[in-house]
Amino acid sequence: MRKVKGFLLVVLALLIAMPVFASGSGETKQAAGTPEDPVSIDLWFGAAITEAGMIPEDWVGYDIIRNELGIDLHLTMLPSNESDQDVRIQAAGAANELPDIFMVRRPVLVNLVEQGLVAQVDDCFAKMPVRTALIYDENAIAHATVEGNVYGFASPGAIVRNEGLLVRKDWLDKLGLSVPTTLDEFMEVARAFTFEDPDGNGRDDTYGYGAFVETDATLKGYPGSRLWPIMGAFGVEGLWSFDSETAGLSIYKPEFYDFMVTLKGMCDEGIIDPNWLSYKKDDFRAAWKQGRFGIMYEQNAAYAATANYAPFDANFPDGEWIVIDAIEGPDGKASIGAYDMNYRIYAVSQKAADEGKLDKICELLEWMSSDEGYYLLGWGQEGVNYVFDEDGIPVAGDLGDNAFTGSKGQVVTQLRNMVFYNGDVELASRYPTYVTEVSGKTMSALTTLREMQAKKWTNAIGSGTMPTPNADVQRYYDQSLAEFLTGAKELTQENWQAFIDQFNAIGGAAWNEEGIAKMQADGLIR
Amino acid sequence: MSTLKTKGKSKDLVLQRPLKSKLRREIVRHRSVYLLALLPLVYYIIFKYVPIWNAQIAFKDFKAIRGVVGSEWIGLENFRTFVNSFYFWSLLRNTVMYSVGKLIISLPLSIVLAICIYECTKPGLRKVVQTLAYLPHFLSWVIMYGILLSLLAPGDGVVNDIIKLLGGKPIDFLSNVKAFPWVVLFSDAWKEMGWSAIIFIAALMGIDVSLFEAAMVEGANSWQRVRYITFPAIMPVIVTVVILKLGTILDAGFNQIFMLYSPQVYSVADIIDTWVYRQGLLEFEFGLATAVGLFKGVFGMILVLFANWLSKKLTENSLF
Amino acid sequence: MAANGKHLKHKTVRLTKADHVFNVVVDIFMIFILVIIIIPVWSTITLSFRPNDYLGSNLEGMFLPPWEWSPDAYTALLGNDGFLDAFLNSFKILIGGVATALILTIPMAYVLSVQSLPGRKIINLIVIIPYVFNVGMIPTYLLVRDVGLMNHLAAVFVPGAISTYNCIIMRQFFIGIPNELKESARIDGCSELQVLFRIILPLSKAIVMTIGLYYGVSFWNDFFNAMLYLNDNQPLPILLRNILLASGMNEYVEVNAFGNAPVSAIKAASVFMSAIPMVIAYPFIQKYFTKGTLLGSVKG
């Protein structure tokens, strides 16, 4: 019986403890915004290095922000995965529990605006002159504009045109081939790389082109950006065409069919790595480091940054990739790919605006773009996390673990994406020139970047604001193209036309029209 | 509640009185049981039934600002959106295919594994298998995808290397509509078999060993023993598991499919949950997402009631 | 361990041919299972110990001799600033979750197992309906907000503190306990509570431990609730998922977040972190997996 009583006691204690457990959240006192009585601001941010962990509680930034701005900052790191982020933010939105300021992708922002959950910030830019001059240009403001009103602060994300078409120079030399410039030459090289044993290991284990499916809903339509150089030869790179003659979805261009025939041909011939449909990003990146293929489309740092190039360098000390020009297609078209500006939007919840926090948030953002805020959020504390070199570039020096690149120091830079604008200081600091360990090459992801940016690209600025289709239309689009490529559907003119017709019928046509209307409204047609 | 029930059942007024007093006696006798049920039932009402009440957003045009109660009623609009969606039948077919397939493949395998662990006469082997079998459960699907790719990739997968050695043509298992469903079903069995076997092993431990002695005296061999003693002994647990799984028949394993699928196999891979994720959760269509949840529930409830009735008839085991 | 290694029958009765065939079939199946389970597990283990300068393929990597293994991935993971905090949070969730879950599930399962209880069918229905009607993310999210559990570790386990599946499985085991035992206790004047504590629970250690384990593992590895409800105090699965799905890892960092260890090794190592409670608890639980637990109690 004692046992029974004990059990009941535990249960009772639990019942009583529940509300106690539950309490401790939610304070609604109106604060003055002074260091003594700071305004509490909740910020959900996209961390620079999510997997490295949270900014420590004793970070100096908290005190500085409290003392100088009268803000009590509460930070929450958003998950690194985009879909997770979207779910998390929309769930909070559904419960009207959005934080004061949060990072959000545009499609989600549009949903939240429709729900009336996000505050208009049109008037804020005047309150942050320094930051606006530095970061919020016309394109940036357009990216956060929904139906004429600005609903967020869009700051630059990844650098534009930071990808390129790369070829194994050592393979070309070995087989006595020159750098391909036309589609025919490109195919010849791909064939030679596949069948003529370019690595000379006597095994049939190489392919011409390597890729994986990298798509999104506004810029990178199926089969994705990794095939852009080939699509560019047909003028069908980019999901949308902003050309005055062909404005609309690229899939409607007759050349898209020609591109599909070419790609299907490459699949059938086996000159594109057959794993490309199953690879995810990491698999693809492991594959070129193992010398599986000799032509690819890759991002500058993923290719040339120290840690990323090192395994390739070790595997193939004689190996060498070069960035080449866009391939010219049958009608003389050529493009590396389509580019749009990349932004991270920070939006303010309507709730926060109603509580009168908007001004404080502007103050916080403006401070971030001051010298103090910029270096503190970007690199940490001088002398602790970084030192300036002779050119005024923040470097790790010999600060060891505590440096902004070290395992202890890196967490203090988690907020850096809120202050970075891809300025020269950042790039020089991010992509230092170095000498590779095994082959002794001098490399720099920055040089590579400049090389890549100089190639021929297609302007698709504004893609990010284009309407997105519903899940069924999206699936039909992706699935049909994929089935043409695998052979599940035979690729003929009739079948292609049937696909286009069905696509139109289930909502593709409406999507296209909506897109064209958006282009016209925003003056995107060039 | 109980009185209500008796009222419905006892049509005979003469019988009602003794019945009622008997019932009252029964209730009084079980009062400590009701006391025991109190806390869990309060839990159920708060944490399971309040969400069900919130699920009225399935019938509403859910607006976050207005909240659950304040949003506008739109009747069955969300259900119509789902049922009339372009891929509805394909989603339904795939979902049923995978959940039934898993019931047919994974479940029997885990039962067989449990019985084998129980019957194995080599203590070393048994111990090793019992200790390791559950481990694949902990490999997340992200990791599993990597393993599957190194086994099945058309270019350099181990399986395809073997096929090529034997003179065959490599198969793109992960992007081929014929092969993909089998990859899903068997990778699930592979990963979860040992984990689900644990419950059956626990059930086997309850078997009265004296039954075996009696069987031995009767001259039964090992096969007969398994058939007439071991298997029937865990039958109630098997039936329970099957009925419960039928209740969630339209959950076909979101995490697995979401990790493994790709456009080229959408036609055999897209399931209700992946659709809801793309069209509902990512698009702020929470009314729609909830409506699909209820739709799945109706399906599951019918199956549970039917399976329960069937198993009551056939095996005398039932949930309720 | 089961039957202390040997079946009683083997001592008393000669094995027939059918018995031999049976044993061979069982052994073959067990070895088959062992092989197909060891392959992925082993490949993940070797992957997690792969040194940074390893150049071979994954397949060859499986046969890398242990003296060439490198613990870099584990030291990097354990040395991660957030790791210890995350681990502690997960541990709190684990302990709080399993305790709450068992305190709620055991009585519920027992109540459902009392066959003579008036109103049992109604309680049964109350339990089964929410199981079948899984209303999804938002209705539950709103509830968690309304009861004030937002950003509290308890939010991770409270919504799932009774898993109907586990509860009904447990009930099935309780029902399986011979009625004579319960009846004789009742005749001895035991109340239902006493029956639960004196008869049912001592005989159900294996299933209670198993269900506790199922709960523990699901709470320990819960990512979704933690992602939805927690702002700070994030537990291990969040950290691990950030590692597993880190997309920017290759592109923007001039150094690896984890120093020397290769990314693939970190990912593999992180998997084993999720199995920790299982690896620790399972051997204890196996102690209770003893054949014929009931037999002794009926006779004694």
Question: Which whole number is the average pLDDT over A472-501?
Answer: 95
Task: Quote the pLDDT of residue C257.
Answer: 54
Pairing of strands A343-348, A153-156: antiparallel
Please tell me whether residues C46 and C119 are part of one structural domain: no
Please tell me whether residues A388 and A497 are part of one structural domain: no
How far does the CA of residue B166 sit from the closest CA of chain A (Å)? 17
Q: How many whole angstroms separate alpha carbon C65 and alpha carbon C72?
A: 16
Would you place residue A306 in the very low, low, confident or very high pLDDT band (cuts 50, 70, 90)? confident
Please tell me whether residues C130 and C195 are part of one structural domain: yes
Would you place residue A494 in the very low, low, confident or very high pLDDT band (cuts 50, 70, 90)? very high
Mean of all residue pLDDT scores within chain A = 90
Question: Which whole number is the average pLDDT over A78-85?
Answer: 89
The SS3 of residue C111 is helix
Residue of C nearest to A158 (CA): C252
Q: How many whole angstroms separate alpha carbon B256 and alpha carbon B258?
A: 5
Residue A15 domain-assigned (yes or no) = no
If one counts the domains in chain A, the total is 2
Please tell me whether residues C24 and C161 are part of one structural domain: no
Q: Where is the domain boundary, C224, C239, C254?
A: C239
Please tell me whether residues A40 and A142 are part of one structural domain: yes
Task: Quote the pLDDT of residue A23.
Answer: 42
Question: Which whole number is the average pLDDT over C221-244?
Answer: 88
Residue A501 has pLDDT above 50, yes or no: yes
Please tell me whether residues A141 and A65 are part of one structural domain: yes
Task: Quote the pLDDT of residue A1.
Answer: 43
**Range name among A168-177, A370-379, C9-18 with the lowest pLDDT average:** C9-18
Nearest CB partner across the interface for B135, out of C22, C37, C123: C37
Residue B12 has pLDDT above 60, yes or no: no
Please tell me whether residues C130 and C48 are part of one structural domain: no
Question: Which whole number is the average pLDDT over A440-464?
Answer: 94
Task: Quote the pLDDT of residue A376.
Answer: 95
Residue C300 domain-assigned (yes or no) = no
Q: Which residues constitute the domain of residue A130? A: 28-159+343-430
Please tell me whether residues C192 and C141 are part of one structural domain: yes
C248 and A50 within 8 Å at the Cβ level: the answer is yes
Residue C119 has pLDDT above 80, yes or no: yes
Task: Quote the pLDDT of residue A26.
Answer: 43
Task: Quote the pLDDT of residue B9.
Answer: 43
Q: Which residues of B touch A277 (CB under 8 A)?
A: 172, 174-175, 262, 264
Please tell me what DSSP assigns to residue A209: E
Would you place residue A33 in the very low, low, confident or very high pLDDT band (cuts 50, 70, 90)? confident
The rounded percent of chain A whose pLDDT value lies above 70 is 94
Residue A7 domain-assigned (yes or no) = no
Task: Quote the pLDDT of residue B150.
Answer: 82
Q: Do A264 and A278 form a contact (C-beta atoms < 8 A)? A: no
Task: Quote the pLDDT of residue A19.
Answer: 44
Q: List the CATH number of the domain containing A122.
A: 3.40.190.10
Q: How many whole angstroms separate alpha carbon B193 and alpha carbon C247?
A: 31
Please tell me whether residues C103 and C154 are part of one structural domain: yes
Contacts of B272 (CB under 8 A, 6+ apart): B91, B92, B95, B250, B252, B292, B296
Q: Which of B135, B201, B240 to mutate to test the interface with C (most CBs of C within 10 A)?
A: B135
Question: Which whole number is the average pLDDT over B279-302?
Answer: 93
Task: Quote the pLDDT of residue A22.
Answer: 44
Would you place residue A442 in the very low, low, confident or very high pLDDT band (cuts 50, 70, 90)? very high
Please tell me whether residues C103 and C194 are part of one structural domain: yes
B40 and C104 within 8 Å at the Cβ level: the answer is yes
Please tell me whether residues A144 and A169 are part of one structural domain: no
Would you place residue B222 in the very low, low, confident or very high pLDDT band (cuts 50, 70, 90)? confident
Please tell me whether residues A376 and A486 are part of one structural domain: no
Residue B165 has pLDDT above 60, yes or no: yes
B155 and A273 within 8 Å at the Cβ level: the answer is yes
Please tell me whether residues C127 and C233 are part of one structural domain: yes
Please report the number of interchain residue pairs, chain A to chain B, with beta-carbon separation below 8 angstroms. 110
Please tell me whether residues A247 and A184 are part of one structural domain: yes
Residue A21 domain-assigned (yes or no) = no
Residue A21 has pLDDT above 60, yes or no: no
Alpha carbons within 13 A on the beta-carbon side of A40: 9
Tell how far CA A105 is from the center of its chain.
Answer: 10
Please tell me whether residues C18 and C87 are part of one structural domain: no
Task: Quote the pLDDT of residue C64.
Answer: 84
A117 and B65 within 8 Å at the Cβ level: the answer is yes
Task: Quote the pLDDT of residue C296.
Answer: 43
Q: Which residues constitute the domain of residue C125? A: 83-239
Residue B208 has pLDDT above 70, yes or no: yes
A48 and C252 within 8 Å at the Cβ level: the answer is yes
Q: How many whole angstroms separate alpha carbon C263 and alpha carbon B146?
A: 13
Residue A9 domain-assigned (yes or no) = no
Please report the number of interchain residue pairs, chain A to chain C, with beta-carbon separation below 8 angstroms. 151
Nearest CB partner across the interface for B26, out of C33, C105, C116: C116
Name the interface residues of B facing A (CB cutoff 8 Å): 39, 62-65, 67, 85-87, 145-146, 149, 153-156, 170, 172, 174-177, 262-264, 266-267, 270, 275, 277-279, 281-284, 286
Please tell me whether residues A124 and A177 are part of one structural domain: no
String of DSSP letters for chain B:
-HHHHHHHH---HHHHHHHHHHHHHHHHHTHHHHHHHHHHHHHIIIIIIHHHHHGGGGGEE--TTTHHHHSEE-TTHHHHHHHTSTTHHHHHHHHHHHHHHHHHHHHHHHHHHHHHHHH-S-HHHHHHHHHHTTGGGGS-HHHHHHHHHHHH-TTT-HHHHHHHHTT-----GGG-TTTHHHHHHHHHHHHHHHHHHHHHHHHHTTS-THHHHHHHHHT--HHHHIIIIIHHHHHHHHHHHHHHHHHTTT---HHHHHHH--GGGHHHH--HHHHHIIIIITTT-HHHHHHHHHHHHHHHHHHHHHHHHHHHHHHS----
Task: Quote the pLDDT of residue A338.
Answer: 96
If one counts the domains in chain C, the total is 2
Would you place residue C30 in the very low, low, confident or very high pLDDT band (cuts 50, 70, 90)? very high
Q: Where is the domain boundary, A414, A430, A446?
A: A430
Domains of chain B are: 2-75 (no CATH), 87-139+190-315 (1.10.3720.10)
Residue A447 domain-assigned (yes or no) = no
Please tell me whether residues A467 and A329 are part of one structural domain: yes
Task: Quote the pLDDT of residue C293.
Answer: 54
Q: Which residues of C touch B37 (CB under 8 A)?
A: 107-108, 111, 123
Please tell me whether residues C45 and C158 are part of one structural domain: no
Residue A154 has pLDDT above 70, yes or no: yes
Please tell me whether residues C283 and C147 are part of one structural domain: no
Q: Is the ipTM of this complex over 0.90?
A: no
A54 and C103 within 8 Å at the Cβ level: the answer is no
Would you place residue A370 in the very low, low, confident or very high pLDDT band (cuts 50, 70, 90)? very high
How far does the CA of residue C33 sit from the closest CA of chain A (Å)? 27
A contact chains, 3+ CB pairs < 8 A = B, C
A24 and C81 within 8 Å at the Cβ level: the answer is no
The SS3 of residue A207 is strand
Nearest CB partner across the interface for A50, out of C154, C227, C246: C246
Task: Quote the pLDDT of residue A20.
Answer: 42
Please tell me whether residues A207 and A283 are part of one structural domain: yes
Q: Which residues of A touch B262 (CB under 8 A)?
A: 213, 277-278, 482
Instruction: Taking each helix axis as running N to C, give the angle between helix C120-132 and helix C81-113, from 0 to 180 degrees, rounded to the nearest 10.
Output: 150
Residue A16 domain-assigned (yes or no) = no
The residue that leads in pLDDT, A485 or C256, is A485
Please tell me whether residues A226 and A327 are part of one structural domain: yes
Residue B53 has pLDDT above 90, yes or no: yes
Q: Give φ, ψ of B303 to 5 degrees.
A: -65, -40
Residue-wise pLDDT tens digits, B120-151: 889 899 889 988 888 888 888 888 888 888 88
How far does the CA of residue B278 sit from the closest CA of chain A (Å)? 6
Residue-wise pLDDT tens digits, A218-264: 999 999 999 999 999 999 999 999 999 999 999 999 999 999 999 99
Residue-wise pLDDT tens digits, C124-133: 999 999 999 9
Please tell me whether residues A52 and A95 are part of one structural domain: yes
Please tell me whether residues C124 and C264 are part of one structural domain: no
Please tell me whether residues A327 and A473 are part of one structural domain: yes
Would you place residue A415 in the very low, low, confident or very high pLDDT band (cuts 50, 70, 90)? very high
The model carries a pTM of 0.89
Residue C30 domain-assigned (yes or no) = yes
